Each structure stands twice: as C-alpha cells, then as structure tokens.
C-alpha cells in the first residue's frame, strides 16, 4: 500500500479524531506490516505507553473498521488479525514459521464463478502452505 505520510491528516480525512492512542495504533499497523492481533498491538505499544488499556485498542480497531481504514484478516479460526492495507491483495500463511505474506492479485484474474452478477463488496483470498524460506 502507499505509505501514509501524515497519520494525523489521514485519520482526519477519514472522519477520525487523531488522538495520541489512535495515531500510535495506526502507526503500528502501517510501520510493521505484520497483520498483528489485538494482543500483539497491546503488548508492543504498552512498552512505550504504560497507561494504555487493551479496551482502547479494541475500541480503536472497531472505529477504524467502521471508517473503513482497516480490514480483518481471518486466516485461523482462533486469531483475529488486522491490516491497514485495505486494497485488494491476498494473504499467505506459512504453516512452519507462521509468517504472513501479502501478495498481489490482479482483480481481473479473480474467478467469481456463478456469483459474478452478485454485488461484490469484499474479496478475501487466504492461502496456507510452506514459504520459500521454510521449504
């Protein structure tokens, strides 16, 4: 995704008041592009924001979802991950190193089969396997 130069402006443009916590959560999502869980975000940020509450992380991500600047990545059924890249792209999770890779998808290559005339709002492509490093 195109790097978000000014987080404050980006949040404002998306109808979100740029509080300190919100900016730090969004910054974390965009700098590390690691599709973190709520717990991961919380554990990393509390190192630098000792007063941070996990509820705030939940509240913030919920708001970001409503405003459409983050999406959920549901690869595993027991972990919810978040992604500040809302453009169309696929996710690959390596079953050995657990790393999640983004990969490009050509929109015109997507095979919508017999639902092609339904109204399509979101497309999610998730792949599991073994990455190059672990093969």
Provide CB contacts within 8 A for 47, sequence distance 6+: none
- Tell me the HSE value of 17 on the side-chain side, using a 13 A CA sphere: 1
Distance separating alpha carbons of residues 12 and 103, to the nearest angstrom: 29
Please answer whether residues 86 and 92 qualify as being in contact, where contact means their C-beta atoms are separated by less than 8 angstroms: no
**Does residue number 38 form part of the binding site for a second copy (CB under 8 A)?**
no
**Does residue number 119 form part of the binding site for a second copy (CB under 8 A)?**
yes
Query: Pick from Zn ion, Mn ion, a second copy, none: which does 83 bind, CB < 5 to 8 A by kind?
Result: Mn ion
Residues 86-125 that bind DNA (CB under 7 A): none
**Does residue number 123 form part of the binding site for a second copy (CB under 8 A)?**
yes
Segment near DNA (CB under 7 A); pick from 32-40, 83-91, 95-103, 104-112: 32-40
Query: Pick from a second copy, Mn ion, DNA, none: which does 98 bind, CB < 5 to 8 A by kind?
Result: none
How many residues form the binding site for Zn ion (CB under 5 A)?
5
Q: How far is the CB of 11 from a second copy (least distance, A)?
A: 23
Please answer whether residues 29 and 57 qualify as being in contact, where contact means their C-beta atoms are separated by less than 8 angstroms: no
Please answer whether residues 7 and 18 qualify as being in contact, where contact means their C-beta atoms are separated by less than 8 angstroms: yes
């Amino acid at each position: 995704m195109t790097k978000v130069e000014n987080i404050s402006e980006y949040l404002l443009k998306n109808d979100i008041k740029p509080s300190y916590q919100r900016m730090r959560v969004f910054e974390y999502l965009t700098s590390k592009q690691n599709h973190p869980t709520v717990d991961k975000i919380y554990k990393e940020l509390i190192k630098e924001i000792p007063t941070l509450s996990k509820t705030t992380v939940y509240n913030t991500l919920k708001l970001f979802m409503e405003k459409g600047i983050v999406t959920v990545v549901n690869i595993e059924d027991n972990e919810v991950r978040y992604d500040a890249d809302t453009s169309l792209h696929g996710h690959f999770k390596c079953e050995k190193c657990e790393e999640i890779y983004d990969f490009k998808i050509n929109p015109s290559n997507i095979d919508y089969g017999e639902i092609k005339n339904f109204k399509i709002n979101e497309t999610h492509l998730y792949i599991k396997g073994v990455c190059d490093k672990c093969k």
